[in-house]
Chains A and B, each alone.
Chain A
Amino acid sequence: MQIFTCPFCGPRDEREFHFIAEAGKTRPDTLNQISDEDWAAYLHSHRNEKGHVREIWMHTTCGELFLLERDSVTMEVLGSTALREAGQ
């Protein structure tokens, strides 16, 4: 059971958090032509890196999204940044 730190509420049990997405993924502009491959990559392809990862999580009890940096091997939490500070 991990402890994540919400930038607004402080350290809390992982059960209060909800994974949203890997950070850095941008929604294609759907008003333009997008190939099936590009759209499928947006929907389904994830980097799923080993080691240092950057992810967007929601702290469900306060509803805020933030950037969580952690190590996917050691489970060490490396930092939490409010989304607007992270500049998305």
Chain B
Amino acid sequence: MTTRRLNSGGLIDRSKPISFWFDGKTYEGFEGDTLASALLANGVSIVGRSFKYHRPRGVWSAWVDEPNAIMNIRLNGKEQPNCLATTTYIEEGMAARSVNAFPTAKYDIKGGLDLFHRFLGAGFYYKTFIWPDWHLFEPAIRKMAGLGAVDREVLEDFQSAQNHAKCDVLVVGGGAAGLTAARAAAEAGKDVVLVDDQRVLGGSLYRCGATADIDPDEWVAAQKTAIENAGGRILTHTTAYGVYDHGLVALVQSQGFGRAPALWRMRAGQVIMATGALDRPITFAKNDLPGTMSLNAAGEYLARYGVMAANKPLVMRNNSHASATIENLRAAGSKVEEIDHVDGITNQGRKHTTGLRIGKDQIDADGVLVSGGLTPLVHLWRHAGGKLDWCETRQAFVPKPATDAMIAIGAANGTYDLAQAIEEAEAAGKGTPIDRPSTTYTTTLIDTKPHSKGRQWIDFQHDVTLKDIEVAARENYVSVEHLKRYTTLGMAFDQGKTSNMAGLTAMAALRGKPIPQVGTTTFRPPFVPVPLEIYHGAKTKQLWSPVKRLPLEDKHRDLDAAFCEYGGWLRPGWYGSGDRDATIQKEAKAARDTAGIFDGSTLGKIEVMGPDAEAFLNFVYYNTIKSLKPGGIRYGFMLTEGGIVYDDGVVTRVDQNRFIVSCSSSHVDGVRTHLEAWRQDGNDPDRIFVHDQTTAWATVTVTGPKARDVLSSLDTTIDLAPDAFPHMTFREGTMGAIPLRIARVSFSGDLSYEVSVPTGHAETLWNAITAAGKEQGVSPIGLEAMSILRAEKGFIIIGKDTDGETMPHDLGFTIPRAKKKAAFIGDRSLHTEKANADDRKVLVGLSVPDGEPPLATGAHAFTETPTRRSLGYVTSSYQSPNVGPIALAIIEAPHAKVGDTIKIWHKEEVREVTICDPCRFDSEGGRLHA
């Protein structure tokens, strides 16, 4: 294996050798090499196997447009799939493995697939694997078709930094045009950021920019210094991969192999797009054979890496731009022979090109370099909604004139001539853009000849050939979007950077239409693949969705509470480290036998005030609020305009113009927004005020027969006597010097008080109540026990015992629907055909035969007649220490009469249960009013 590294030239550091591995063999490169340049320098020709046919493939390009050299790379115990060898800089000890090849790219046991290529044409997957079931074939196909494997171990410390920045002018691309524009803009006083995706600025300057006037190294250094002296910022290794609304540009900044790239959300006043142009492939038979490379890539390998891609190559080109590169290759000693592209040309060789055959003539060579014309890189332009023009001279889509937000310059704008590009860039940077200069560039369209012999590759990465395009055209998949999906053209992870224009050209030729009439596909972000991690950063677990924490959390921890998340709050599920279920049963029993102390601080406390508060709440609630007296409390529903139950809770009327809306713990933000929206839209916002006080007050609930005894020993100004303070009333007072509110409401069905103090005094209240409780043998209970208590009474939890169709009359609350005089949210929706239907699902209780365990929550009730279907489902189910197994369900009304039996299905098991009243405990309510 001969080295193709030259003794001088390039941007690599020959004093710093680096060892790396590829497919189990060790090689040497230099600092500044990419994996691709180092492999080429070592004479490695086959770098991967193609996706569908497992054909040997070599390096095609020198940067992001590479379709073939995709690798799994391991370094320091970290492995990453889908790495492009052309954009991955080598590091000491790096181990690369070709993908789609087993065991190595050179010897691939699946290479035999290629013999069956006639069966793997366009639409193959769609046509072949539909019957009997695609899923039977999918695992095997996925295994065969993968582009690498993910290693779980990488994930732990793989976290992307999230940077937010803004600038006046963002210049994308650090070639001659970008550097010039950035300098001009910075020197004009603009806040400028220049990004370039390579390690060294300069773009194509090293390959084709050396002239008598310009030494690329010196010129680039001078521009860089000038930009930075004028206050501009430069980010290398950074790709602008998406342009979004209002000037947001997403940048991905590489942090080296194995480290998560950083995301920059750059808000730019103006984007100057200087992204350059790509070289197109030429379509001819076996044009995918290793050793066949983009001419411009060969120029890049020479100029940036001191690597000679081929010593005696044949060159096919159709454009004037190629001349400079050909000259440079010759000057470096390559024996370039130019030949014309003619029909019937065929690549020779099996694993590497040995030359071309034209008719009967065989021309030997060690490489084939092709240049099918330049394609401006307009991806970002299209992301921003910019339009394109077809340019006949350039045979390419070029940006239409600029908007204020975005301007294209240099090769990205079809301005390929260096002097013109610099002039255009200077003007754009100064804010006085000029029209696109007329070009000296010439090119001829290489006519794709349909039905010619041999397989001619259009999309190297997805193995799409000219024949596939012919099949698509024949079967009338002629729209570009259909062509793409039918053949998978341009749908590999290079997203058609090399193949789209070739595909369009072929379709245009097949249909006998000009290219612009065939159209072009949509360009969507990201321009290069980015790991999903980039959007994620530190926003994970608690930082992604922070739990709300109780003011009394430390107190609960002192009691060894088991904390669980309930509706966004971290709350005690039960207390103590004993067996979970036994503990919960014990707490639920104690609360009925004596009492329980419960942290209810999470309950909503939204104050609604003002002269129109009463009318407003009367409109917001299903239930009538108008008749509620000061000091009174009422249970009610809020509905959506669709009549669906949105929230339940109690409303307290503190005085004539002041209410407290106590909505569900998990619903406070939603209810506040709901109230605000209605307050401001349709009401006089100066006569109603909504103020969320939920976290300003801490609440401790005491529930059970001994609740009054516990509270009586507290030093408060509030009279707890049953006559003075009946059920569903509210009192304000003090405890010592601390303001105190007590609401006598009950979620357990027992005598129950919700005692609230300003949050700062939460511990004082807790200490006082738990101390008083101790004397009565009363302990704290967690949310799990409370859930059992409320289910014993048939008290619902919205969203658990109701769903997106539940209306208040389904829950037995029928009176306002029939009788309420005032308008309220959702009122009209309660009288539609659907709302009046007699088969609506209604809330019921379910009773299991003696000795049987509780039902499974979520289990469906069903009927067999006339055919098997669901009648509803179990919404809550518990083992109660007080009444045995209990369950709530919503069941279609004709099947939900108390006393009926119904079948419940769960995991193949069928059980017969009896419909009963949802309330299973103290149905007369004597304990509630004790």
Give complex CA distance A31, B685 in Å: 23
Q: Are A74 and B385 in contact, CB atoms less than 8 angstroms apart?
A: yes
Interface string of A1-26 (1 = CB under 8 A from B): 11100000000000000101100000
Nearest CB on B from A50, distance (A): 14
Contact A39–B248 (Cβ < 8 Å)? no
Residue of A1, A60, A75 near B673 (CB, 8 A) is A60
User: How far, in angstroms, from A64 to B823 measured CA to CA in the complex?
Assistant: 25
- Given A2-B245, A75-B245, check contact A43 B829 (CB 8 Å): yes
Taking residues whose C-beta sits less than 8 angstroms from the other chain, chain B's interface range is: 20 to 34
Is the C-beta of B681 less than 8 angstroms from some C-beta in chain A? yes
Q: How many A-B residue pairs have CB under 8 A?
A: 54
Min CB–CB distance B266 → chain A (angstroms) = 11
Whole-angstrom CA separation of A84 from B832 in the bound complex: 34
Min CB–CB distance A41 → chain B (angstroms):
12
Asked if A84 and B685 sit within 8 Å, CB to CB, the answer is: yes
Which of A21, A30, A36, A65 interacts with B823 by CB under 8 Å? A30
Which B residues are CB-close (under 8 A) to A42? 641
Q: In angstroms, how far is the closest chain A Cβ from the Cβ of B323?
A: 42
**Once bound together, how far apart are the Cα atoms of A18 and B833, in whole Å?**
32
A 38-57 to B, binary, CB cutoff 8 A, 1 in contact else 0: 01001100000000000010
User: A1–B245 contact, CB under 8 A?
Assistant: yes
Q: Using A1-B245, A58-B673, A63-B676 as known contacts, say yes or no to A29 and B641 having CB atoms under 8 A apart.
A: no
Distance in angstroms between the alpha carbons of A20 and B676 in the assembled complex: 11
Say if the beta carbon of A28 comes within 8 Å of chain B: yes
Q: A34 is contacted by which of B677, B681, B828 (Cβ under 8 Å)?
A: B828
The reply to whether A56 and B685 form a contact with Cβ atoms under 8 Å apart is no
* Residue interface bits B680-698, CB-to-A below 8 A is 1, else 0: 1110010000000000000
> For the complex, what is the distance from the CA of A74 to the CA of B676, rounded to whole Å?
30
Contact B828 A28 (CB under 8 A): yes
B104 to chain A, nearest CB (A): 45
Among A3, A63, A75, A88, which residue has its beta carbon within 8 angstroms of that of B681? A88
Residue pair B680, A1 in contact (C-beta under 8 Å): no
Using Cβ atoms and an 8 Å threshold, which residues of chain A touch B681?
Answer: 20-21, 56, 65, 83, 88
Q: Is B246 an interface residue (CB 8 A)?
A: yes
Q: How far is the CB of A83 from chain B (nearest CB, A)?
A: 6
Q: Give 1 or 0 for each of B66-83: 1 = CB within 8 Å of chain A CB.
A: 000000000000000000
Chain B residues with Cβ below 8 Å from A63 are 672-673, 676
Is A36 in contact with B832, judged by CB distance below 8 angstroms?
A: yes
- When distances are taken between beta carbons in the complex, the residues of chain A under 8 Å from B828 are 28, 30, 34, 39
Known: A36-B832, A39-B829, A88-B681. A1 touches B676 (CB 8 A): no
Are A30's CB and B827's CB within 8 A? yes
Q: Could you say which residues of chain B place their CB within 8 Å of the CB of A83?
A: 680-681
Q: Chain B residues near A2 (CB, 8 Å)?
A: 245-246
- Looking across the interface, which residue of chain A has its beta carbon closest to that of B669? A60
**A75 and B246 form a contact (CB under 8 A):** yes
Please, how many angstroms separate the alpha-carbon atoms of A39 and B371 in the complex? 65
| B244 contacts partner chain A, Cβ-Cβ < 8 Å | yes
A1 to B245, CA, bound (A): 5
Q: Does B680 contact A64, Cβ atoms closer than 8 Å?
A: yes
Q: How large is the interface on A (under 10, 10 to 19, 20 to 34, 35 or more residues)?
A: 20 to 34
Q: Is B17 an interface residue (CB 8 A)?
A: no
**CB contact between A1 and one of B248, B385, B677, B822 (< 8 Å): that residue:** B248
Please, how many angstroms separate the alpha-carbon atoms of A30 and B672 in the complex? Answer: 24
A65-B676 contact, Cβ under 8 Å, with A75-B245, A88-B681: yes
Point out the residue from A29, A30, A43, A65 that lies within 8 Å of B642, measured CB to CB.
A43
Using Cβ atoms and an 8 Å threshold, which residues of chain A touch B676? 58, 63, 65
- Chain A residues contacting B680 (CB-CB under 8 Å) are 64-65, 83
A contact residues around B672 at 8 Å (CB): 63
Kindly supply a per-residue 1/0 record for chain B positions 642-660, scoring 1 wherever the CB is within 8 Å of any chain A CB and 0 otherwise: 1000000000000000000
Bound-state Cα–Cα, A3 to B823, Å: 37
Chain B residue numbers with a CB within 8 Å of A64 are 680
Point out the residues of chain A lying under 8 angstroms from B708, CB to CB. Answer: none
Residue in chain A with minimal CB distance to B822: A31
Complex CA distance for A58 and B828, rounded to whole angstroms: 26
Task: Quote the shortest CB–CB distance from A45 to chain B (angstroms).
Answer: 13
Cα of A77 to Cα of B18 in the assembled complex, Å: 53
Q: Mark A52-88, 1 if CB is under 8 A from B, else 0.
A: 0000101010011100000000110100000110001
Interface residues of B in 245-278 (CB under 8 A from A): 245-246, 248, 265, 267
What's the minimum C-beta distance from B554 to chain A, rounded to whole angstroms? Answer: 30
Roughly how many angstroms separate A17 CA and B827 CA in the complex, as a whole number? 28
B215 to chain A, nearest CB (A): 42
Question: What's the minimum C-beta distance from B613 to chain A, rounded to whole angstroms?
Answer: 17
* The one of B641, B682, B823 that contacts A31, using a Cβ cutoff of 8 Å: B823
Contact: B823 with A43, CB < 8 Å? no
A77 to B247, CA, bound (A): 13
Bound Cα distance from A84 to B685, whole angstroms? 9
Closest to B672 in A: A63
On whether the beta carbons of A36 and B244 are closer than 8 Å, the reply is no
Q: Which of A1, A30, A60, A84 has the most CB of B within 10 A?
A: A30
Question: In the assembled complex, how far is the CB of residue B264 from the closest CB belonging to chain A, in whole angstroms?
Answer: 13
Instruction: State A79–B72 Cα separation when bound (angstroms).
Output: 51
Which residues of chain A are within 8 angstroms of B385 by Cβ–Cβ distance?
74
For A29, give its contact among B246, B267, B823 (CB under 8 Å). Answer: B823
Task: Decide if B827 touches A1 in the complex (CB within 8 Å).
Answer: no
Which one of A20, A30, A39, A77 lies within 8 Å of B677 (CB-CB)?
Answer: A20
List the A residue with the shortest CB-CB distance to B642. Answer: A43
Q: A58 and B677 in contact (CB under 8 A), knowing A30-B828, A36-B832, A84-B685?
A: yes
Cβ distance B158 to chain A, nearest Cβ, rounded Å: 24
| A1/B829 contact (C-beta < 8 A), A75-B245, A88-B681 known | no
Residues B265 and A1 in contact, CB atoms below 8 Å apart? yes
Those of B811-867 within 8 Å (CB) of chain A: 822-824, 827-829, 832-833
Contacts of A39 in B (CB 8 A): 828-829, 832
Closest to B385 in A: A74
A23, closest chain B residue (CB): B681
Q: Which of A1, A21, A31, A34 contacts B246 (CB 8 A)?
A: A1
| Chain A residues with CB under 8 A of B245 | 1-2, 75
The distance in angstroms between the C-alpha atoms of A1 and B242, with both chains bound, is 11
Contacts of B244 in A (CB 8 A): 1
**In this complex, what residue of B is CB-closest to A77?**
B246
Beta-carbon contacts under 8 Å, B658-684 to A: 672-673, 676-677, 680-682
Chain B proximity of A9: nearest CB distance (Å) = 15
In the complex, what distance in Å separates the CA atom of A47 from the CA atom of B265? 33
Interface pair B682/A36, CB less than 8 Å apart:
no
> What's the Cα separation between A41 and B681 when bound, in Å?
19
Q: Name A56's closest neighbour in chain B (CB-CB).
A: B681
**Given the complex of chains A and B, what is the CA–CA distance between A29 and B265 in angstroms?**
47
A65 contacts across to B, CB distance below 8 A? 676-677, 680-681
CB distance from B621 to the nearest CB of A (A): 14
**In-complex Cβ contact of B641 among A43, A75, A84, A88 (8 A):** A43
Chain B contacts for A88, CB-based, 8 A: 681-682
Bound CA–CA A27/B823 (angstroms): 11
Give the distance in Å from the alpha carbon of A66 to the alpha carbon of B737 in the complex: 43
Docked Cα-Cα span, A82 to B677, in Å, equals 13
Cα(A52)–Cα(B641), bound, Å: 27
Give which listed residue, B246, B642, B682, B685, contacts A27 with CB less than 8 A: B682
- Considering the complex, give the chain A residue whose CB is closest to the CB of B686: A84
A36 engages B833 (CB within 8 Å): yes
Output the least CB separation between B533 and chain A (Å).
Answer: 19
Query: Can you list the 3 inter-chain pairs with the closest CB atoms, starting with the nearest?
Result: A65-B680, A30-B823, A2-B245
What would 7 A/B residue contacts be, using CB atoms closer than 8 Å? A3-B267, A31-B823, A43-B829, A63-B676, A74-B385, A75-B246, A77-B246
Q: What 14 new A-B contacts, CB under 8 Å, besides A1-B248, A39-B828, A60-B673?
A: A20-B677, A27-B682, A28-B828, A29-B823, A30-B823, A30-B828, A31-B822, A36-B833, A43-B829, A63-B676, A64-B680, A74-B385, A77-B246, A83-B681
Residues of A that sit less than 8 Å from B by CB: 1-3, 18, 20-21, 27-31, 34, 36, 39, 42-43, 56, 58, 60, 63-65, 74-75, 77, 83-84, 88
